[in-house]
Amino acid sequence: MSVALSERPAQTGTQTAGMLAGLRRRLESSDAMASLCAVADQALISGTSFVTAVAVGRSCGAETLGLYTLIVAAVAMLIGIADQLITAPYMMFHHHRHGRQLAAYQGSVLLHQLMMICLTVAVAAGLTAFVRSPHTRLIGLILTLTLPGLLMRAYLREMALAHNRMLDLLLLDGGICGCQLLTVTLMMLTGATNLTTLYGLSGAACLVSVALWWRTQSSRLRFSRRACRIHWQRNWRFGRWALATHLAGCSTPYVMPWVLFALCGKAETGLLGSASVIVGMANILLSGLADFLTPRAARAYATGGVAKLRSILRSMLGISLLAIGSVCAVAMFFGQSIVDTLYDGRFPDVGMLISLLTFSVLANAVGNVAGNGLWALNLPRANFVADMLTLIVAIAAAPVMIRPWGATGAAMATLTACTCGAIVRQAIFLQSVRAQGSAGSNANGRQRPPRASETAVR
């Protein structure tokens, strides 16, 4: 009897491991399932951010929500910089390495990420020590304490995506998001919502996930000072251009809250943050559409040329206009009512702000269709022109529109920049299609397709 009882836990553990292994194989063997998991994971992250923003806004008001919006923008920008410099080159080049070479490459990339974390934390700590504003000092303190965990979580996510380990991705984000939602719930019940505690516990949950990952994966890594230096030099050749494109195309949603904070204060920034939670629904649709479109556009051009590419892009443009246009219609007619319900009437008169931001997402969706067409035509540098124009228009329009109209002016500047970028991207694509049709040339090399999080308005 004792033997049977002692064997039962071992049998249960073996069955659980077998079920997880089977689920992992099922998720990794199907492109459709992998894409569905990626969208579900993004929805989980966006949903958690949505609930957190609503809780902060309801409990603490516009000023604290404004500080939360600034922290989210700063963290998103720092994660994007690390992604372009470190994990994006890994995604491009790791397929060419196997065995010990791959293990050495993975070890080098981990060291690069750790060095980036040290540099980022040092800068955040320095800003915290020297700034005089108490609000900016609070933001710097929160970033200093939580950036190690948040940046390592981003690194683990990118590694899981690079190797198509979708189950690992869902378990990682599911655990961390669950911890954050539990923290938010307890704070709401006790009436003690605090940004430092919220981010501190989230950073701690990320570090626990990193510790569990290290325990299971460290044996697969190899570390060498020489290999680390060589891999950095090679990755830098790709990463510097990826970073330049990222900063040109994605700085607007990250920088705009800070410009608004500098010109109008944290209360107006809180208004922008209250509207952004509604816009997050449109961004989830944009992410899913981009994940669906990018590989199909490349496949259409490879198999059917320009004619088939234009056909699938027209279809996707129609789907984008219908899906995101529906969100825009809901935002126009019911946006203010939704915000009143979510925030208990704390943010009146933000209906126009919500409409402007959702139409910015619609403009991004239109431009994203043309951008994917340019990637399929092997013309990635053409996207950089539209990205730079978007950034220049945003920089020029922001001070002019924000000073008299506050948060609404920031949304107007965002919409203006996104619309100009979409128009230019569509014009470049049409011109490139004519050139491809007449000359049959295909000169530029391939690079990584753009992610939806790099074009989404947050």
For the stretch 374-427, pLDDT in tens is 877 877 677 788 888 888 999 999 999 999 999 999 999 999 999 999 999 999
> Which pLDDT does position 2 carry in this prediction?
42
Contacts of 246 (CB under 8 A, 6+ apart): 80, 81, 83, 84, 454
Judged by DSSP in three states, 317 sits in: helix
Query: How big is the chain, counted in residues?
Result: 458
Is the separation of the CB atoms in 123 and 139 below 8 Å? no
> Which pLDDT does position 22 carry in this prediction?
62
Statement: residue 339 has pLDDT above 80: yes
> Which pLDDT does position 20 carry in this prediction?
59
Least confident of 38-42, 89-93, 187-191, 322-326: 38-42
> Which pLDDT does position 451 carry in this prediction?
45
Is the separation of the CB atoms in 268 and 66 below 8 Å? yes
Least confident of 196-200, 299-303, 368-372, 452-456: 452-456
69, amino acid identity? T
The stretch 169-174 carries a mean pLDDT of: 89
119-170 per-position pLDDT tens digit:
999 998 988 888 777 878 888 888 898 999 999 999 999 888 888 788 888 8
pLDDT averaged over the chain?
A: 82
Residue in this structure with the two tokens 């957190």, named with its chain if needed:
52
Q: How far apart are CA 261 and CA 240, in angstroms?
A: 29
Statement: residue 448 has pLDDT above 60: no
> Which pLDDT does position 140 carry in this prediction?
86
- Which of the residue ranges 89-103, 251-265, 269-283 has the most confident prediction, judged by mean pLDDT? 251-265
- For residues 149 and 190, which has the higher predicted lDDT (pLDDT)? 149
Cα 234–Cα 242–Cα 289 angle in degrees, nearest 5: 130
- Which of the residue ranges 106-120, 279-293, 344-358 has the most confident prediction, judged by mean pLDDT? 106-120
DSSP letter, residue 378: T
Q: How far apart are CA 427 and CA 48, in angstroms?
A: 38
Q: How far apart are CA 359 and CA 407, in angstroms?
A: 15
